[in-house]
Structure 1
Amino acid sequence: MSLVAEERSAVVLSQEDFEELARHAIRTNEALRMEFIGGKMGVKAVPDGDHGRIIAWLSMRCIQADSGWWLYTDQGLRVETYRNGNARPDGTLVPVDRFVGDGEWASTDGVLMVAEVTSRDSDTNRRDRVEKPRAYAESKIPVYLLIDRDTCEVKVHSQPDGVRYEQVVTVPFGKTVTLPEPVGVELDTEPLKDWAR
């Protein structure tokens, strides 16, 4: 099949169609983690042990800062204003009861921060460093934290203007970084050096 023919056979999905497909995929393969960002369907790699340890570390830091918060893992969010995307952040920081009554895909109302930890897959650059910052900024999520195991850096995106994050602070693992308000937490990133494999 030629490239032109492949492009013509592309399937256009609505957000509702994607959500139904994702529900079916989870029922048949629990290890599958699907997203729909920038009009493209993608699959996230299943996290490894170091990835999980980083999320546990971040959870502990957030809960120590405010016991009324919780860092939900794998809560689906409806993101993007113009394409109706669906993202499944590695961590979503919210008041503990924020998602009560919501289904698999929730609005971003009340979300304080989303966090992603890079995975060892070919889509990481496009997904975590390009598409998700844009989608989260469009959704006006106040803080996007990217823990980049490839570059051994933490990137804190803040001040979303509805198109992009106006502020991005990058620090190497081992330095302290401040997660701006509404989070307002300082993170000593030294432990991340042990989990960057």
Structure 2
Amino acid sequence: MSPPIDGLDPPQMSVDEFERLASLAFREIEGLRLEFLDGRLGAEPRPEGRHGRVIQWLVRSCDPGGARYGTVRTLPFGKTVPLPAPVGIVLDIEPLKNWVR
């Protein structure tokens, strides 16, 4: 690696190299998000658990049997989301705001 110029370290890789690496990581590792800030490679924190499996469970458990759901609601981002039976829980999605750019 080259010595710093004017006290600044050189980038770890080019933007093109980073984009290829980030694309590969996204396909291979569930939930991994890389970032490239000020020429430095980093990783965003991964959410807990395997969210893909949770979504699959919800789809299987709440599938209306080929029919359409009777109610469709649009809510402001960050509000709680009540899920009807058979799930019967209220999701607090306020913490998800921390994961949005």
Query: TM-score by structure 1 length?
Result: 0.26
Identify the structure with the greater strand proportion: 1
Query: TM-score by structure 2 length?
Result: 0.43
Q: Mark the structure with the bigger radius of gyration.
A: 2
